[in-house]
Amino acid sequence: MPTLYGIKNCDTIKKARKWLDKNGINYRFHDYREDGLTTELLKNFLARSDWQTLLNQRSTSWRQLDAAQKSDLDEDKALKLMLETPTLIKRPVLEKDEKLLVGFKAEQYQAEFLL
């Protein structure tokens, strides 16, 4: 069963959940705030996606970081930042079988689930 990761009050999560529900796709929802975010889970994401894709540098959470936190980014520093502040992870992250889809685009979900 696919798992959708994110935060329930996020507008993009709401769009993805609405799309999945409308298309009769059964999925599990994992809320970072309620269900947590572990190093193991985040490393699992990073094994299938790069940190630049996962780290949302356009988010409000990113803008709230100080210059030192934003400078000299590499995978280890990005991992630490995302573990400390899960809202830095681009949403949603959808795990289906061995695939990982980051962000929501209806066309991408349609290609993955309906074609």
Look up residue 2 and give its DSSP letter: -
Name the nearest CA neighbour of 45 among 93, 7, 4, 105.
93
Helix axes of 75-84 and 39-48: crossing angle, nearest 10 degrees: 130
Q: Which of 2, 4, 9, 10 is catalytic?
A: 10
| 10 carries an active-site annotation | yes
Active-site residue set: 10
